[in-house]
Structure 1
């Protein structure tokens, strides 16, 4: 008899709540940029603020690669809890930061925790969902990021949700968090460059139309590359290729 997979609803709920916090932590930065620019003691310009924003992207790059290294081995549940504690504590440190350097270190730590959380949560959501409901489970869980963003006063992460599902479906359960972590780690290079890129555009006085075009161009390139990815060969479920006891052991280790 094949090991019974626990229902997905509790997992979706827990991941949603964690991602609400993560979305709020990440996207709140955009709402405080005007305050940073007008805070006289720190004397920051648009380029400085862009560099501070890039530190979160660097942290997410490191965090995603860290998740790739440890999530499937250490256990996804423990990895999720550690990530939430890290980025929430770091955001509190940012709120009381006495200097730009301390604030930047806090933003890096926020990104580190968020970088660990995203691939781990996506892998967990895919693992517990039935094959036909995987896209729905990932979308429902990552609605938390959108809710957190709304609480912070900014937009949507629909594209990230679709990419997580697209990437995660290409890996077997035993290495899904590793694959997602590696892919999202590479993606964070854009998150590192983006804020500085935007800060430079603002600093040199580029018009709004040119700014929109400058940020739309990478999105168009990304869409084209996604279309060019070869269609995957279906991967047999581990439970079908291993004895029931072995499949159950893998499931327990993946989420313990």
Structure 2
């Protein structure tokens, strides 16, 4: 049977080129060749296994708002997972179809053998030559190279269609990851300038990071500043408020204690991860 490792390798002259036609080229319907027949057969299989497209009508598309849905990293990841699942299913269906086709082809060729002529007269050169020619024809047909090539072509076409859909999604995922990293770094580089700004931080983890920073020594503060892109002129106002306001200092100490207790509970029930 066909396999990815056993596919026919491309010629050196075709390296770097797209061997699949991207546009429709009409074939001679009156005198179809083997290629046209095999493609028609494969098209029938695709329609039978995948069905036809019943999407919205042109009128419905025109009535649809032009605003496209926002693509998030989670949505793109789901699309990639679904595409890979569907491709695996397509390969399994194609393999089952090819196996059934191969079995039918072998049975058909076997049934074409005329057992009545096996007992030929060895003294009759006409019968001997006829049987030899028949056996030669049968032996030449047994490997069924054209049938194997058709199977390879079908697998290659399915994989090409899969990769053609997958590669743009992978590129989109890289872009979204890069964007999220950039936004996170920008957010991490921001530092509250007052107690009020600290209280207005919506993300509890970021608040806890700031609280831990305020309790660190100067050398540890510098390491965190290097990690998050903070500078002294940005952190000094809150450090001064922390030193001058006893109530705020107690709040920070209590916040870190609660955060440490929460981290301990998470570590006891989950795999240890990155800590703020």
**TM-score surpassing 0.5?**
no
Higher relative contact order (CA 8 A, sep 6+): 1
More helix as a share of residues = 1
TM value normalised by structure 1: 0.25
Rg: which structure is higher?
Answer: 2
